[in-house]
Amino acid sequence: MSDLNSLTLFKAKDGLKAKKFSSLELVTDCLSRIKTLQPKLNCFVSIFEKESLDKAKKADLEKPLGGIPIAVKDNFCVEGTKTTASSKLLDNYQAHYSSTFTKRLEDAGAIIIGKTNMDAWAHGSSTETSDYGPTKNPWNTNHLPGGSSGGSASAVSSDQCIVSVGSETAGSIRQPASWCGVAGFKPTYGRCSRYGLIAMKSSTDSPGPIGKTVDDTAYILSLVSGHDPLDATSLDLPPWQPPKSLTNLKGLKIGLPTSYFPSQIQPDTKSAIYNAVKILEKLGAEIVKLDDMMDPKYSIAVYTILQRSEVSSNLSRFDGVRYGKDRSFFGAEAKRRIMLGTYSLSAGYYDAFYLKAQKVRTLICQDFDKQFKKVDAILGPVSPTTALKLGATKDQAMFGELQDMFLEPSSIAGLPGISIPCGFDKTGLPIGLDIIAPQLREDIVYQIAKIFEDNTDYHLSKPKL
Amino acid sequence: MTITPIIGLEVHVELKTKSKMFCGCSATHFQVEPNTHTCPVCLGLPGALPVPNITACQWCIKIGLALNCSVNLETFFERKNYFYPDLPKGYQISQLQKPFSVNGFIDIDGQKIRINRAHMEEDTAKSQHQLVDGKEATLLDFNRSGVPLVEIVSEPDITSAAQAKLYLQKIQQIVRYLQVSDADIEKGSMRCEPTINLKIENNGKTYYTPLVEVKNVASLTGVQNAINFEVKRQTEEFNKTQQTKSAKNKTTRGWDADKSKTFLQRHKEGSSDYRYFPEPDIPPIVFSQKDIDKIKDNLPELPDQKLIRYKSLGLSDYDAMLLTDDYLFSLAFDKITKNNPKIAKSVANLLLGPIKEHLNQVQKDLDVDKINPQYFASVIDAQLSNQISATVAKTIILDSFQTGADPLIIAQDRGLIQVSDTSKLEEIVDKVLKDNPDVVKNYPKNPNIIGFLIGAVMKLSAGSANPQIAKQILEKRLK
């Protein structure tokens, strides 16, 4: 059998269990795919060829992810491996310990075959700010994969791994998943431990899976979620378990915020989302227009202030005393963020910026509470456009914030959400549908995404490389 | 011209919890091999997260309650951002807006010194400047990084170096009573930074000199000396420059104990330059009134309360003070007198006499476990019934304390039980009179000389004679 690397997680699991192929074959196929595509797409910062093959030989297939090759974003610490967050500042840094998220995956038998490229320090939505060069979009290598988990999304989309791990602060899982045509599941803030994830904006950082199907991501989530005593913000809950999938959506109310369809949205994207709404309506969902939902433009401001503030503090530890490189190794984007954050936390500005942003954050949360009294879930586009061309971030200091404007409100409110493929633009680039639900209602997100996937075949299309 | 010093004290007390403030590492760092009590959290490694030590938070509240503070039921941690090699995260987790406890006071000889706050934070790593391969280097020991620290900030109510010393001793005493810290200034588990300026009244006008914070003071005497030095220096400075306090002229000075003077370190940054903001890695900490009441109900008897009780047991002010001053001695005293309060005075004499003298000599702390209340009771009984003299009581209680043996058996073995048996004593008296004919001859002229003869009887009996009875027999014989 060849091209085992193109299997979904469940197909790979089934195949391994039925002894149709071995973990070694599966890993080998992924590694050879990586070898072919790395020069073209640059999805990886590190590739663990020898270690992965060794682990594949010893794979314990009894374990839930026994022998499954996965790719991990390079901001997760994995003991003994180089962990750079795609910044040259950490070029020589070997993690001394493993993040809870990746440790749970490895404990479940997964084989980490490489660390994926990202925007340096997760600052961006393009993977173009990586100090290791940009990652390319498999659907068109002149285009960006999105970010910051661009390497992870591109790697899944181009079948270089079975499933991958990303992290989202506001869009960093869903937006690259959307641009690369795969599923990206961002759980409720606190559902998955942040321990060992290099902090970007601590108050909204949410690690999560990127996969080829909704079920693949849900399964990963069921293995990595649950309370972690090492993260004080991790919720004291057992691991999340996906509910039964539905055959129709009768009784379910889905909200469509008019403010999420501004004029600058790409027409193809708009029609793909409306088409998705029609499919869901046909499946029995009641579609409710939400005319009074807060304009996402306010979230851009709130998110920018809070994120820069936390970034300026989170990056302080890279002070030149340790890690071998000093602060001159920060790229332009990190420097801009540190300066803006330092400014907004400074004497005389704190009240006008940080404190005010926190107050508006409360209003955003209250707005969601209000809307979720009317509906069970909210739908919208993940991104105003499909994947932009390489270089699109040039001189665009607010690139990410504008790309992620529909994702920032739900991130700020800590809500769960998923991006799933729902169509293509006329140049063939994938379009993503964003489904969000109240905190801890991953079950609703899952059920809508799953039934949509069951009734469409967008997720089955593969990029031609 | 009248000059009144205005002194506020910031006291840092290191808690002796088993583990550090935000990780599971041992909080012990004194004389520990460098960098052996560390983990990703206290090393501030990328991705590591702080999880607050709830015991430390409760102890901080305990300190607050003992300092008569009100407790904030809902508090949160904040990040204090600044760069320093000993600060691995580039920020210290501390509290600014909502400390665990606020607005307390302690009483120093009838004067209230107000406490602004007692808040929780983490200690920094320790820098060691030394030569490595012939080059000057700064080495970092992260064993101390993340050790729980309670900062107690007073209002500027202190007006003299002597009062500052009393304030510090009181804080030290209280945290030791609470058993939450060793509060040892020399070992660094208690640190204090006085902020000093002067109120100068002259010709009906009042001036305030610029604020000076003094750092690196490593002893109680140092605090006193530094304050006295600053009062003198600021007075001279004011006379020269007439400069008064403003929002911008606060300075930090270091204390040089060898030269006994302060020296300028830096102009102080305003506190808001630390860019405090709520620590996003730790959710707000919420206690219920019930939690606080429970901590309150379990507070031990504090020094002030103890002092009053000791006086009510008949102790002199001085003895009561000496006992309450030393937490271990007060524990020993309570242990002995718990079921036998009548002997309180004698117990105080024995503890503060031979035992304290001995411990001072060998420079050791009292081991309360070695105190046997039964032994104290029997020694005091024996003394009251004239079986032993006060001197013997002191000797045998110390021997017993050191060896663990029954003091009365020690007395018996060494023949120290007092001889009150008249016939036996008469023999000794007769021998003394026979041996000292000159003294006997002088007695009618100088009756006070009987003291010498009593001494001789005591000596001959190896201290076992009852001096009262010996005196009676001597007087009879010399009539």
Asked whether the beta carbons of residue B272 and residue A229 sit closer than 8 angstroms, the reply is no
Q: What's the fold here for domain B422-478?
A: Arc Repressor Mutant, subunit A (1.10.10)
Asked whether the beta carbons of residue B81 and residue A203 sit closer than 8 angstroms, the reply is no
Which pair of structure tokens corresponds to residue B176?
């030791």
- List CB contacts (< 8 A) between B275 and chain A: 312-313, 342, 345-346, 350
Cα gap B196→A74, rounded to integer Å? 51
Amino acid at B191: R
Catalytic residue among A13, A52, A55, A73: A73
User: Can you give the residue range of the structural domain that contains A232?
Assistant: 4-296+359-460
Asked whether the beta carbons of residue B91 and residue A313 sit closer than 8 angstroms, the reply is yes
The answer as to whether A24 is a domain residue is yes
The answer as to whether A239 is a domain residue is yes
- List CB contacts (< 8 A) between B270 and chain A: 347
For testing contact with chain B, the best of A307, A308, A321 (most B CBs within 10 A): A321
- List CB contacts (< 8 A) between B79 and chain A: 313
The secondary structure of residue A120, as a DSSP letter, is G
Select from B44, B47, B140 the Cβ nearest to the Cβ of A195.
B47
Sign of the four-CA dihedral B312, B314, B320, B326: negative
Catalytic annotation present for A172: yes
Catalytic residue among A149, A172, A206, A309: A172
The answer as to whether A204 is a domain residue is yes
| Residues of chain B contacting A, Cβ within 8 Å | 40, 44-52, 79, 81, 83, 85, 88-91, 140, 270, 272-273, 275-277, 280-283
Give residue B436's Cα distance to chain centre. 53
pLDDT tens, residue by residue, A196-216: 999 999 999 999 999 999 999
The secondary structure of residue B284, as a DSSP letter, is P
Cα gap A439→A107, rounded to integer Å? 27
Taking the Cβ of residue A351 and every Cβ of chain B, the question of whether any pair is shorter than 8 Å is answered with no
Parallel, antiparallel, or unpaired: how do β-strands A417-424 and B190-202 relate? unpaired
> Tokens 């004593």 label which residue?
B425
The answer as to whether A353 is a domain residue is no
Chain A residue at shortest CA distance from B51: A232
The answer as to whether A243 is a domain residue is yes
The answer as to whether A170 is a domain residue is yes
Which pair of structure tokens corresponds to residue A355?
């404190």
Report the pLDDT value the prediction gives residue A1, as an integer from 0 to 100.
46
Cα gap B2→B4, rounded to integer Å? 7
Chain B residue at shortest CA distance from A93: B46
pLDDT tens, residue by residue, A364-381: 999 999 999 999 999 999
Residue segments in chain B with a per-residue pLDDT below the cut of 50: 271-272
Catalytic annotation present for A57: no
The secondary structure of residue B351, as a DSSP letter, is I
pTM attached to this predicted model: 0.90
The answer as to whether A155 is a domain residue is yes
Catalytic annotation present for A154: no
Select from B45, B273, B280 the Cβ nearest to the Cβ of A347.
B273
- List CB contacts (< 8 A) between A359 and chain B: none
- List CB contacts (< 8 A) between A318 and chain B: 90
Cα gap A171→A324, rounded to integer Å? 31
Sign of the four-CA dihedral B382, B384, B386, B392: positive
Report the pLDDT value the prediction gives residue B461, as an integer from 0 to 100.
80
Amino acid at A135: T
Greater model confidence, B470 or A270:
A270
The ipTM is 0.95
Task: Provide the β-strand partners of residue A207.
Answer: A167
Q: What number is the average pLDDT over the span A294-318?
A: 95
Q: What number is the average pLDDT over the span A110-121?
A: 98
Amino acid at A427: T
The answer as to whether A89 is a domain residue is yes
Q: What number is the average pLDDT over the span A387-407?
A: 86
Domain total for chain A?
1
> Which A positions 230-289 lie with beta carbon below 8 A of chain B?
230-233
In B110-189, DSSP assigns E strands to 111-122, 126-132, 135-141, 148-154
CA distance A199 to chain B (A): 6
Select from A201, A310, A317 the Cβ nearest to the Cβ of B44.
A317
Is residue A451 predicted with pLDDT exceeding 60? yes
Taking the Cβ of residue A349 and every Cβ of chain B, the question of whether any pair is shorter than 8 Å is answered with no
- Percent of chain A exceeding pLDDT 90 equals 94
Cβ-proximal residues to A92 (8 Å cutoff; 6+ apart), any chain: A82, A323, A324, A325
Q: How far is CA B347 from CA A181, B389, B393, B406, B465, in A?
A: 85, 15, 11, 16, 23
CA distance B179 to chain A (A): 27
For chain B, what are the domain ranges?
Answer: 2-289, 301-413, 422-478
Report the pLDDT value the prediction gives residue A2, as an integer from 0 to 100.
65
- CATH number (domain holding residue A86): 3.90.1300.10
Report the pLDDT value the prediction gives residue A275, as an integer from 0 to 100.
98
Asked whether the beta carbons of residue B51 and residue A231 sit closer than 8 angstroms, the reply is yes
Taking the Cβ of residue A228 and every Cβ of chain B, the question of whether any pair is shorter than 8 Å is answered with no
Sign of the four-CA dihedral A316, A319, A321, A322: positive
Long-range contacts of B453-462 (CB under 8 A, 24+ apart): B456/B432, B457/B425, B457/B428, B457/B429, B457/B432, B460/B428, B460/B431, B460/B432, B461/B419, B461/B425, B461/B428, B462/B414, B462/B415, B462/B416
Is residue A29 predicted with pLDDT exceeding 90? yes
Report the pLDDT value the prediction gives residue B230, as an integer from 0 to 100.
96
CA distance B282 to chain A (A): 6
